[in-house]
Structure 1
Amino acid sequence: MRPFEEQTECIVKALLAELLGENEEASFRQLQSDSLGGNESDEDTFDPQLIATQLRDMGDRINKEIKEHMKQLTQDWGNEKVVLDFPEACTTISNTWTARHPEAASEMSLLSVTVALVKYVVNRAPQLREKVASAMTTFINSKLTSHIQSLGGWEHLYN
């Protein structure tokens, strides 16, 4: 099994490829060769494209509720600052959303907000793609690893 950090990087790349409308098959092949080393034994249990699609859907579900907050944040800070201060941006929006929805698990809310914010920024500033990918990967690996692993890893996020 690949390390969690490698899986996260691969999923983020797949998510950004999907958000930017790139050819999924070509993107997945590139991800395999770049991030996975073409290790076929893990392909049965780890599908970054499927996980990326599930994450996108998760972000889309809360997007309407947090869109105005994301819009205000990017107007106040600018897209570059949102990317540079990605952890603060995600936490700020997540805390606002979680305060209105106390029944929601804070880690899953934070993950949903992270995906929605990435989508919002990358759609408005696609030139920030690499910075967004790095910021999202680092954020997930530092803030959400233990939660995702406690669920059984990326493959079991929705089980």
Structure 2
Amino acid sequence: MRHPALAALRWVTAEDFPLVDAFHQRCGPTSLLRRWGCRHLPHRTLVRLLSHTERWLGLGTDNEPVTLVCTGPVSREPGVFDLGLQVADDHQLRGIGTALVRHAAEHAHIRGAHTLSAYTEASNQPMLRLLHRLGSVRHTRHGSHLDVRLHLAASGLTHRPP
């Protein structure tokens, strides 16, 4: 995966909690609240994330973490993989999120996914716009949140030219 604002994409392990924490410090409280439902990612949440998903930190040209993306079969629905994405506030609107969702979609598809599911606040317009740009989505409302489903084959995310 290449993007001009990213120097590297790094696999996240349990030892990387300080890097993940540094990344979250680059994110504003509103962004953290939208993505995690809290303003600080507890260690237990990272441990749960590590046990159920594949995840990467995107490092910027300054070698500091600027994004976190993860995907994995967290639901009990065969072929449906969860998608988690957060981009540091000062790196948003540069196409980084789109590039990383494409990366996660390819990875999920190789592991048997046919659908990505993003559970987000209904007010999270940046994430909703990104998913709508990538393809046809289906929403299911759960109070103030949405379960947004993106079918991988219909979106063309799994059939990119080499």
* Structure (1 or 2) with the greater strand fraction: 2
Fold agreement, TM-score > 0.5: no
TM-score (norm 2): 0.33
* Structure (1 or 2) with the greater helix fraction: 1
Q: Which is bigger in relative contact order (C-alpha 8 A, separation at least 6)?
A: 1
TM-score (norm 1): 0.33
